[in-house]
Homo-oligomer: A and B are copies of this chain.
Amino acid sequence: MSLIVTGTIGIDTVHTPTDKREQVLGGSCTYFAAAASFFTQVRLVAVVGDDFHADYQAVFKKFPNVDVDGLEVRKGSKTFRWGGKYLEDMNERETLFTELGVVAEKPPTPPAKYADSKFVFLANSHPSVQMAMLESFPKRAIAVADTMNLWIDIARGELLSLLSKVDGLVLNDQESRMLTGKRNPFTAGKMILDLGPTFVVIKKGEHGCVLVHRDGVAALPAYPCEQVVDPTGAGDSFAGGMMGHLAAAHSKDQDIGMPAVQQALAHGTIIASFAIESFSLDRLARLTREEMAKRYTEFQAVVRV
């Protein structure tokens, strides 16, 4: 089942309490696509500037299932750049800088050959850009969106319009609270279902995730992890693993039933646990399907009741 992701590619600078990396490949779209590519082919629609040099392009070659024909390199523009610093408690971070660059210009145009995409993931972006992207895929069967606190704050109306059109929403616990005013993730999730989606996934970082689906609720802890190198991209890798698994495992267009989404969450959990073992895409680039399968089996034992 063809999967497509639209969103941001960035050049990241990341400081952790013990280490740092300057100008490494990042962005929601990047982590999502890399993670999803372990399960299925994934098409990527994004725009970068002409500062996006060959070393960055080369990273995508390590993920042969990522189709980068939809990656536009815009002459005279600058790639989105972000810098962040994680505090001693790695659950908290400060933004060092944000240079929007090409993200402040017009969005990329999906190649015509992608118009038949069935599974659409709208990674974090302005909800009106997400809406325009959504409408580029008229043959879609399933659309899922991510969002962030900024859009809940400054573009709530557009976000609500988008929510009425998508099948699923992925967001973190602070965002779900901001969107609904409810602290309890199950209460918040049910309110979000009333806005349109069939399911909502609320990410809680080290505490795992919660699924609120029209057919029931689920909850999973994170994979037990003692050494986090860099949490950047954990949520996007989680979403990539989840959507990749959904797209790969299900032949019927509409199959986003509770059991399918629930199993997909576990695969998202596992791939996210690898993503945070390195800066940038380093760990995912050398990850094998055998390692993934082994950790999935371990995770089944961890949550056995």
A254 an interface residue at 8 Å Cβ cutoff?
A: no
User: Please, which residue of chain B has its CB at the minimum distance from the CB of A204?
Assistant: B207
Contacts known (A208-B221, A221-B219, A221-B221); A226 close to B303, Cβ less than 8 A: no
B303 with A305: CB separation less than 8 A: yes
Knowing A204-B207, A210-B224, A224-B210 are in contact, say whether A218-B186 is a contact too (CB < 8 A): no
Docked Cα-Cα span, A300 to B187, in Å, equals: 21
Determine the main DSSP class of A at the interface with B: mixed
Q: Does A195 contact B (CB under 8 A)?
A: no
We find that the number of chain A residues with CB closer than 8 angstroms to chain B is 32
- By beta carbon, the residue of chain B nearest A259 is B304
Q: Does A112 contact B (CB under 8 A)?
A: no
From residue A305, how far is it (CB to closest CB) to chain B in Å? 4
Complex Cα gap A157–B183 (Å): 39
Task: Tell whether, in the assembled complex, residue A305 and residue B263 are in contact, meaning their CB atoms are under 8 Å apart.
Answer: yes
Binary interface encoding of chain A residues 288-303 relative to chain B, with 1 for a CB under 8 A from any of its CBs, else 0: 0000000010011111
B221 touches A220 (CB 8 A): yes
Top 9 A-B pairs, shortest CB-CB distance: A219-B221, A266-B305, A207-B207, A303-B303, A217-B224, A186-B226, A187-B226, A186-B224, A218-B302
